[in-house]
Structure 1
Amino acid sequence: MNDPISDMLTRIRNSQMRGKSTVETPASKARARVLDVLADEGYIRGYEAKTGKDGHPAFEISLKYYEGTPVIRELKRVSKPGRRVYMSVGDIPQVRQGLGVSIVSTSKGVMSDANARSQNVGGEVLCTIF
Structure 2
Amino acid sequence: MSTVTDPIADLLARVLNGARAQKMEVFVPYSKIKAEVVRILKNEGYITDYEVDTKASHPRIKITNKLVDHACAITGLKRVSRPGLRRYVGADEIPRVLAGMGTAILSTSRGVMSGREAKKQKVGGELLAYVW
Please report the TM-score for the alignment, with normalisation by the length of structure 1.
0.96
C-alpha deviation, 1:51, in angstroms: 5.6
Instruction: Give the secondary-structure state (helix, strand or coil) at the position aligned to 1:110.
Output: strand
The question of 1:10 aligning with 2:13 is answered yes
Q: Percent identity?
A: 43
| In 2: Cα distance, 1:50 partner to 1:110 partner | 21
* Aligned counterpart, 2:114: 112
- Alignment gaps of 5+ in structure 1: none
* Aligned counterpart, 2:65: 63
C-alpha deviation, 1:52, in angstroms: 8.8
Q: What amino acid is aligned across from residue 101 of structure 1 in structure 2?
A: T
Please, what is the CA RMSD of the aligned residues?
A: 1.3
* Aligned 1:1-130 pairs, distance under 5 A: 1-50=4-53, 55-130=57-132
The 3 A distance-change label for structure 1 pair 67 and 5 is same
C-alpha deviation, 1:21, in angstroms: 0.2
CA contact (8 A) 1:79 1:124 kept: yes
Q: What amino acid is aligned across from residue 69 of structure 1 in structure 2?
A: A
| In 1: Cα distance, 2:75 partner to 2:92 partner | 26
Deviates more, 1:18-27 or 1:42-51: 42-51
C-alpha deviation, 1:37, in angstroms: 0.5
Higher helix share: 2
C-alpha deviation, 1:46, in angstroms: 1.4
Q: What amino acid is aligned across from residue 97 of structure 1 in structure 2?
A: A
User: Deviations 1:86-112 (Å, cap 9, x if unpaired)?
Assistant: 000111110011111000111011100
| In 2: Cα distance, 1:73 partner to 1:17 partner | 8
CA contact (8 A) 1:104 1:124 kept: yes
| In 1: Cα distance, 2:35 partner to 2:125 partner | 18
Instruction: Give the secondary-structure state (helix, strand or coil) at the position aligned to 2:63.
Output: strand
Please report the TM-score for the alignment, with normalisation by the length of structure 2.
0.94
Runs of 4+ aligned structure 1 residues displaced above 2 Å come to none
C-alpha deviation, 1:49, in angstroms: 1.4
